[in-house]
């Protein structure tokens, strides 16, 4: 009877969502970065981890990150609907309801944390739980809509995966893993502010206080430059710390100098420049920059492992 | 007087989506079981069978 009643009110709904729509809730593109950086953290960490357990741990970290993405889409459905970049997501396009996304996100959060905690250790499990909480509650529900520094603090959530990978393999949080965290943490603001510069109107329409539409373009460009300078220095730190070798060190210095050069171009860009070419270039370069740094860290360590196996 | 019962007939698209979701859910459940089976063997090794009767 209730169903008939609902139909009369136009509320009855049978889902047409495909599995792919649920997969889209996990933000697969963000997940791929999480998988990669967590894997690098795991490989760099001292102490061995069984390869099968490592694979399952990476999967749990990926699913946990995806779950926080689903919770983010559940909460942000209203602003996703008005931004061109996000309007086609499963909730604003009507394929998945908010309630379904919430249930999906919560279920996967619990399962991923329990899996990682029981199979590796509870430092890793606890870090994953904290990351999900940080992204879904601290960033999405609180900071994103209330402060233009949202991306600085929210960026921490995206910076945790290498630390979780490190903790899963070694059972500890050490200075080296904090440096890996810092590289992504410092990279996030210039990366997103470059995007916000050329997507300014989108964030304006959605009433999201991003730095360019609150503090102005000039101030944003200065902040991008400041973060880029600190990032270039911190990204080279794994070399003197002994976490990476000279190949990484030299590449990090070269790429860092290039990052700063792009940031200077953005800083010099005329206010109100409609094409925003330097900002777009910085945004694209920042993606390449982070992926390369972590790929070189990984490559160097794998080479070291292969070399020591040969010697033995 | 009893009102006439109106059953909801899902459309072909809805039936197809439901079938696909059911298959995906089943595959995820199987994967979850396999993951824990393998992980248990890896963590305990042959000792997993070493139980006093």
pLDDT digits (tens, 9 = 90+) for A88-115: 999 999 999 999 999 999 999 999 999 9
Whether A122 maps to a domain, the answer reads yes
Identify the pLDDT of residue A152. 87
- Within 8 A of B18 by CB-CB distance, chain A residues are 14-15
Q: What is the pLDDT of residue A309?
A: 83
Give chain A positions within 8 Å (CB) of B13: 16
pLDDT of A86 reads 87
Contact A115 B35 (CB under 8 A): yes
A61 and A162 assigned to the same domain: yes
A18: closest CA of chain B, how far (Å): 5
- The mean pLDDT of B19-29, rounded to a whole number, is 96
Q: Does residue A155 register a pLDDT over 80?
A: yes
The fraction of chain A above a pLDDT of 90, given in percent, is: 71
A59 touches chain B (CB under 8 A): yes
Among the ranges given (A17-26, A89-98, A187-196, B7-16), the one the predictor scored with the smallest mean pLDDT: B7-16
Exposed / middle / buried, residue A245 (Cβ in 10 Å: 0-12, 13-18, 19+):
middle
Do residues A79 and A60 both lie within one domain?
A: yes
Instruction: Reply yes or no on whether the pLDDT at A5 is more than 50.
Output: no
CB contact A17 to B (< 8 Å): yes
Two tokens at A120? Answer: 């590796």
pLDDT at B3: 65
Instruction: Name every chain B residue with its beta carbon within 8 A of the beta carbon of A19.
Output: 20-21, 23-24
Least confident of A145-154, A177-186, A262-271: A145-154
Q: Residue A2: pLDDT above 80? A: no
Q: Is B21 on the interface with A (CB under 8 A)?
A: yes
- Do A84 and A91 form a contact (C-beta atoms < 8 A)? no
- Position A137 pLDDT exceeds 80: yes
State which residue of chain B sits closest to A111, comparing Cα positions.
B32
Average pLDDT over residues A254-271: 94
Residues of B in contact with A56 (CB under 8 A): 35, 38-39
Q: Are A91 and A105 in contact (CB under 8 A)?
A: no
Q: pLDDT band at A1, cuts 50/70/90?
A: very low
Angle at Cα A110 formed by Cα A107 and Cα A115, nearest 5°? 120
Task: For residue A198, tell me if it sits in a domain.
Answer: yes
Q: What ipTM goes with this model?
A: 0.81
Give the closest-approach CA distance of A48 to chain B in angstroms: 13
Position A12 scores a pLDDT of 61
Confidence band for A11, pLDDT divided at 50, 70 and 90: low
User: Looking at A121, A151, A171, which one is the last position of a domain?
Assistant: A171
Q: What is the mean pLDDT of residues A74-82?
A: 92
Residues in B closer than 8 angstroms to A8, CB to CB, are none
Based on the structure, what is the number of domains in chain A?
2
Cα distance between residue A186 and residue A183, in whole Å? 5
Residue A202 lies in a domain: yes
B6–A7 C-beta distance less than 8 A: yes
Is A128 in the same domain as A235? no
Structural domain contains residue A1:
no
Residue A68 belongs to what domain range?
Answer: 17-171
Spatial contact of A153 and A209, defined as CB atoms under 8 Å apart: no
Smallest CA–CA distance from B3 into chain A, residue:
A1
Are residue A163 and residue A208 in the same domain, yes or no?
A: no
Domain stop point among A171, A195, A226: A171
- Asked if pLDDT for residue A220 goes beyond 60, the answer is yes
Closest partner residue to A52 (CB to CB) among B24, B32, B38 is B38
């Amino acid at each position: 009877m209730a169903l008939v009643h609902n139909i009369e009110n136009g509320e009855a709904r049978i889902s047409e969502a495909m599995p792919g729509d649920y997969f889209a809730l996990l933000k697969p593109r963000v997940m791929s970065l999480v998988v990669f950086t967590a894997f690098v953290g795991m490989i760099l960490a001292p102490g061995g981890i069984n390869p099968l357990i490592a694979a399952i741990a990476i999967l749990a970290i990926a699913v946990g990150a995806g779950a926080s993405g689903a919770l983010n889409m559940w909460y942000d459905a209203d602003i996703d609907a008005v931004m061109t970049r996000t309007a086609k997501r499963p909730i604003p396009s009507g394929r998945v309801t908010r309630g379904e996304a919430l249930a999906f996100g919560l279920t996967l959060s619990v399962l991923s944390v329990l899996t990682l905690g029981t199979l590796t250790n509870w430092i890793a499990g606890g870090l994953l739980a904290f990351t999900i909480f940080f992204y879904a509650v601290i960033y999405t529900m609180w900071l994103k809509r209330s402060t233009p520094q949202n991306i600085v603090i929210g960026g921490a959530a995206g910076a945790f995966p290498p630390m979780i990978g490190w903790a899963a393999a070694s059972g500890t949080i050490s200075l080296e893993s904090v440096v890996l965290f810092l590289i992504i943490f410092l990279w996030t603001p210039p990366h997103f502010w470059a995007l916000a510069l050329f997507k300014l109107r989108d964030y304006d329409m959605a009433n999201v206080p991003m730095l360019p539409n609150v503090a102005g373009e000039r101030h944003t460009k200065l902040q991008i430059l400041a973060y880029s300078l600190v990032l270039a220095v911190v990204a080279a730190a794994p070399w003197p710390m002994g976490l990476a070798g000279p190949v990484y060190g030299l590449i990090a210095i070269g790429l860092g100098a290039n990052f700063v050069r792009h940031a200077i171009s953005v800083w010099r860009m005329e206010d109100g420049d409609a094409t925003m070419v330097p900002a777009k270039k910085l945004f694209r370069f920042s993606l390449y920059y982070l992926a390369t740094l972590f790929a070189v860290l990984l490559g160097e360590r794998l080479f070291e492992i292969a070399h020591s196996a040969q010697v033995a | 007087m009893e009102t006439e019962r109106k059953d909801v007939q899902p459309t072909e698209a809805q039936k197809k989506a439901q079938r696909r979701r059911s298959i995906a859910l089943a595959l995820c459940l199987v994967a979850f079981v396999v993951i824990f089976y393998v992980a248990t063997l890896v963590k305990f090794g042959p000792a997993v069978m070493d139980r006093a009767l």
